[in-house]
Each structure stands twice: as C-alpha cells, then as structure tokens.
Structure 1
Amino acid sequence: MTSARRLHRNPSFRNPTFLSTWLLWLVGALAFPVAGLAGIAVGGRLSNPVSALIGGAVCGVVIGLGQVLVSRKRLNPLSWIPLTAIGMGVGLLLGSTVVNYQTTLAELALMGAITGLVLGAAQAVALPPRARRRWLWALGIAALWALGWTVTTLVGVNVEAQFTNFGAIGAITVTALSGLLLHFLLPFHPPSGVWLRSHPITPAQ
C-alpha cells in the first residue's frame, strides 16, 4: 500500500498524465494577449502609476482566470484569481516605477523581474497546501516574467506602445516553462487508480 501511494504521488515527467496536463496548461497562453488588451482598454498605456496599478490588476484577473481554467482543478479560483490580480497590479506598479516607464530591453527585463517576483509571491500564497517548495514559484515567475519581456522585445514587438503585458511569443514561452514548474510543485493527481493501472506494481519476490 505504501509503495502504491508513493507511485501515485510521483510527480515524474514520465507520468502518463503529464503531457496532456502540460498541453492543457499551454492553452492558457491565449489569456495573455486578451489580458494585455483588457489592461490597455481599462488602464491605458503604461505611463503612470494609476495605469500600472489598474492595468496590471485587470491583466491579473484575466491571466488568473485563464490559468484556473486550464489547471485541471489544481488551483482554487477563490484565491488564485484575486491574488493574481493583486500581485500583477502591485508588481507592475513597482516594476514600471523603478524603470520610470522606459522600454529598453534591459529596463523591460528588470520591470518583468520585479513584476514577476511580486506576482509569483502572491500566487505562491494561493497554491494549495499540498504544493511543495512554493517559494520556488515566486523565484521562477520572476525569472519567467523577465524572460517574457526579453523575448517579446527581441522578436520586434513594438514595446514603445507601453503595453501592460508581454506579447504572444513571450506568453507562449512563459506558459510552457511555468507549466513544467507547476507540475514539479503541484503535480496533477488523476482519478484514483489511473496512474496505477498504467504502471502496475510488481509484488516483491
């Protein structure tokens, strides 16, 4: 029984449910462009503290909702969505203020790192109790948000337009990598017996 329980909880990337779970999470990248448009529509261009806070919070609501929908019920919408909104709003406010709303590659990467650190910390609080090493989520999202802005800038997106969020290529990159991190911290548990049936346990001789 102990061996069966350990195998069922194994977050190995060889778990047969991993690929489908990761691909579903990847669909959540579609929320990022929508979030960016919503942030601009409500808060305006990222050019002052008010637009950063409001636009970031709106972005957070849309991104948080999208992530909940593709999480296979691993994330609680009652905590994940509001904390994502708060983290994104406060993080973008701090990050954009530090770089004075400039849009060079280095400044956007720094803004992304600051935004991601605050956002990741807020989301780490929202992770369910069974999540392990949740502090890694905060550090990981900080690095990924910086990467998202870096990729967006390098592919030639017009970042001078002062968007509240990075572009589609950055969103795909961030979502793909965050899906791997989420699987490590919070692996999907299939219905009882699914994983065990696909990997039967051989009794000890």
Structure 2
Amino acid sequence: MSHVADTSLRRWAIWTASFLAFPVAGLAGTAAAGPADGALAALLGGSVAGFVIGVAQVLAGRGRLDPRRWIVATTVGMGVGLALGAANAEYGTTLQYVALMGLVSGMVLGTAQTFALPPRTRLRWLWAVAVTGLWPLGWVVSTVGENRLSEHLTIFALPGALVFTALSGLVLDRLLEDRDQPDPRGPEVLTNTPS
C-alpha cells in the first residue's frame, strides 16, 4: 500500500471513530434542553449536541479543521438546523417526519460547515450536498435499528452515526486531499518567480 493511501486510510479511520461522540452529544443535548419537541428545546439541545460533535470532529480531523471556525459552525448549524428541521416536520416522530427533519437540519449544518472548511478547499459545496444527504440517512438508519422516535432525540443513535461518519469521512478526505499534498512544482517555484 502506498504511503498516500495508507495516510488517507488512517485519516478516514480516525474520522470514522468520531461516531462515538454522537451518543455523548445526544445525552448532553437532552440534559441541557430535554426532548427536542419544541423550538427552544430543539435550538438549545441541537446547539449543545453540535458543540460536542464539533469538538470531536476537530480532534478527529487532526489539524485539518480550524477549531474556532468548525466548532462554531457545527454548534450553530446543528442548533438552527434541528430547530428548523423539527418545526418543518411538525415535531412528528414517524420515519417520514424524521427523514424530513434530517434533510432540513442536514442542509443547514452542511452549509454552515462548508463555510468553516479551510479557505483553499476546492469544490467545498460538495460537503454541503453530502451532509444534506447523509444526515437524514443517519436518522433513517438509526430509526430502523432502534425505534426511539417518540423520545424526540437531538441526534441519531450509534448505527446512524457510524454510517454518517464513515461516508462523510470519505468526502472530507477527498475535499482536503489536495491541500495535504505538497505543490508538485516544488519549493523552487517560490524562489524562481520572476520579479
């Protein structure tokens, strides 16, 4: 296995391991706001859960994500996203309502995190598209795995978290891949530039 592939696989595995933060985030969000069955509870609970997930993702990103930008974007994105998503789904607890809530909240979260990606990230909007699709998938996978919809959780459970982090890790590594590579023209490009 080449060094580049080995490094990419290691980064993906570490990012995927951040799925373990999702139950902690859910417990923290519920402890702070109770069930996400109203606008304020969804906003506060989502924000607390977003903070925990943002910290875990920064740690899993191993220096590739700016903590100040990523944690704030994830906190705000999850809080506002869950509040809008739950309201759009009328705080319903059927699979269809949860999928709609996930779609709306994923769209808000993905967009917020897109602005927090490193400045030179090309095709950054692919992150927003990926999270918009993967967030409801996380809810659906968790719902099929363990039906706790009536509890108005702030974040999906471990099965959905594993699917979300594994797939989003592939996208993130691809988006940040060219940032991690040295300039193929070499350092002499900077020193041999005409004045």
TM-score normalised per structure 1: 0.84
1:113 maps to 2:103? yes
Which structure 2 residues correspond to residues 21-170 of structure 1 after superposition, within 5 A? 21-170=11-160
In structure 2, what residue type is equivalent to 1:116?
G
CA drift of 1:139 comes to 1.0
2:6 counterpart SS class? coil
Tell me, in whole angstroms, the C-alpha distance in 2 between the residues paired with 1:30 and 1:20. 17
Tell me, in whole angstroms, the C-alpha distance in 2 between the residues paired with 1:40 and 1:14. 41
Higher helix share: 2
In structure 1, what residue type is equivalent to 2:136?
A
Tell me, in whole angstroms, the C-alpha distance in 2 between the residues paired with 1:135 and 1:25. 20
In structure 2, what residue type is equivalent to 1:185?
L
Identify the range of structure 1 (177-186 vs 155-164) with the bigger mean alpha-carbon deviation: 155-164
Kindly tell me the number of residue pairs found equivalent between the two proteins. Answer: 180
Tell me, in whole angstroms, the C-alpha distance in 2 between the residues paired with 1:135 and 1:145. 15
Note the aligned Cα RMSD (angstroms): 1.7
Aligned-pair identity (%)? 49
CA drift of 1:14 comes to 6.2
TM-score normalised per structure 2: 0.88
Tell me, in whole angstroms, the C-alpha distance in 1 between the residues paired with 2:67 and 2:20. 18
1:130 counterpart SS class? coil
Unaligned runs of 5+ in 1: 1-11, 193-205
In structure 2, what residue type is equivalent to 1:141?
V
Unaligned runs of 5+ in 2: 183-195
Tell me, in whole angstroms, the C-alpha distance in 2 between the residues paired with 1:59 and 1:167. 12
Tell me, in whole angstroms, the C-alpha distance in 1 between the residues paired with 2:134 and 2:65. 19
Tell me, in whole angstroms, the C-alpha distance in 2 between the residues paired with 1:131 and 1:37. 33
Tell me, in whole angstroms, the C-alpha distance in 2 between the residues paired with 1:26 and 1:13. 20
1:189 maps to 2:180? yes
CA drift of 1:15 comes to 2.4
Q: Which has the higher contact order (CA 8 A, sep 6+)?
A: 1
